[in-house]
Amino acid sequence: MSKITEKIRYVGVNDHETTLFEGLWPLPYGVSYNSYLIIDKENALIDTVDARFKDKFIENIRKHVGASPINYLIINHMEPDHSSSVSAVMELWPDITILASSRAVPMLTGYYGISAEKIRTVGDGDSLSLGETVLSFHMTPMVHWPETMMTWDESEKTLFSGDAFGTFGIPGTGITDSDLEDLGPYRDEMIRYYSNIVGKYGNTVQAAMKKLSALEIKRICSTHGPVWEKLAADVAGLYGKLSRYEAEPGVCIAYGSMYGNTAEAALCLSKELTKAGVPNAIHPLCTENISDALRDVFKYNTIAIGSPTYNGGIFPPAETFMKAISARNVKGRKFVAFGSYSWAAASVKLLAEQAQSLGFELIGLPEETPGSQSGGISFPHAYSPEKCDMKALAEIIRKSAGLA
């Protein structure tokens, strides 16, 4: 189904080919590039798709307009997965007018050589009448690029939101969420999308949501994933929670291991947490893309990072993961480190110091416990329960996470 309403049509495409989104993030369920067409006295296209799929995209548009013109192309977001078919659209409809924010104009010129005469700059609250449909434009900079804006259709109570409220995964055959009882399979993929790509910009997401709060939004048309109708309020609620860095009780365990000892400790901690009734997810940083681990940093309120000491410092995969957490401005987490050492015990201390600099609350075993230190526990080389009491640590984490 490509008809969302009598006036709003879906003309996007699904990508089953790409394995890494932005060259970084795995796509086990694919991704969609959503574009929307508004049919009225004048026709408006909102965003385009990745140029690799331009032929299918143009075919989708033609099904709805035939030989009629596309009068306007509205650019909410300039990332190439949404803008790189602009030139193909202009070739077919050379008289088209592009509407975009002022920050998008140099990008359109620089990326695609489009002259400024073809572009109409719009500002906050500006509007465009297509006939019966009146669209207004709302600037939402840094959600998650500087030029981003959203387009509002008052008559349809529909927000064309750019990447905001998007998710990895491909919509069902109906395009909308009508066949879903809850976010279900999309919830974790939405958290992963947000944490991987948007996570740094919690403050600007909050500012955008405050600006849009007066709108009576009944439908969200994002550039990735299903059109949200039935679950629009749930999606907005989850997005708000993520942008405030709120999380549910549970533990993200992420570890790097050279010879298997820190890995054994991580598995033991996960097992003891599960026995104690604490939700947890475990991520081997040496062999797994950090995408899912970042998702769980945003999902759970406690982070446990395992790292052996390496060259007097943090094992590189664990250090990289800490940098990724820091880059996303994550707030309000509890933190514990653990790891092995041979001739120098440094990794746990350094991880705890980094966590403290991020404002995280350090948790751990009592100081008199063997191997215990502020914010974590170290054990010499080979792991054994005698050297590191994971059952006791799991109990402390359970209480700290709010599951007592």
Residue 346: how many other CB atoms lie within 10 Å:
18
Instruction: Determine if the peptide bond prior to 144 is cis (ω within 30°).
Output: yes
The answer, yes or no, to whether residue 208 has pLDDT greater than 60, is yes
Task: Specify if 77 maps to a domain.
Answer: yes
Task: Specify if 3 maps to a domain.
Answer: no
Residues 157 and 128 in one domain: yes
* d(C-alpha 293, C-alpha 304), whole Å: 11
Q: What is the pLDDT of residue 272?
A: 94
Give me the number of domains the chain comprises: 2
- Helix spans in 113-249 (H): 184-193, 202-212, 232-243
Q: What is the pLDDT of residue 345?
A: 85
Q: What is the pLDDT of residue 384?
A: 65
Q: What is the pLDDT of residue 1?
A: 54
Task: Specify if 144 maps to a domain.
Answer: yes
* d(C-alpha 263, C-alpha 265), whole Å: 5
Residues 202 and 328 in one domain: no
The answer, yes or no, to whether residue 338 has pLDDT greater than 90, is yes
Residues 215 and 254 in one domain: no
pTM over 0.85: yes
User: Where residue 382 falls among pLDDT bands split at 50, 70, 90?
Assistant: confident
User: Where residue 341 falls among pLDDT bands split at 50, 70, 90?
Assistant: confident
Residues 113 and 131 in one domain: yes
Domain end: 243, 270, 291, which one? Answer: 243
The domain containing residue 347 runs over which residues? Answer: 250-400
Task: Specify if 2 maps to a domain.
Answer: no
Residues 284 and 237 in one domain: no
Q: What is the pLDDT of residue 388?
A: 67
Please report, rounded to a whole number, the percentage of residues in the chain having pLDDT higher than 70.
Answer: 97
CATH (domain of 263): 3.40.50.360
β-partners of residue 169 are 31
Residues 285 and 223 in one domain: no
CATH (domain of 75): 3.60.15.10
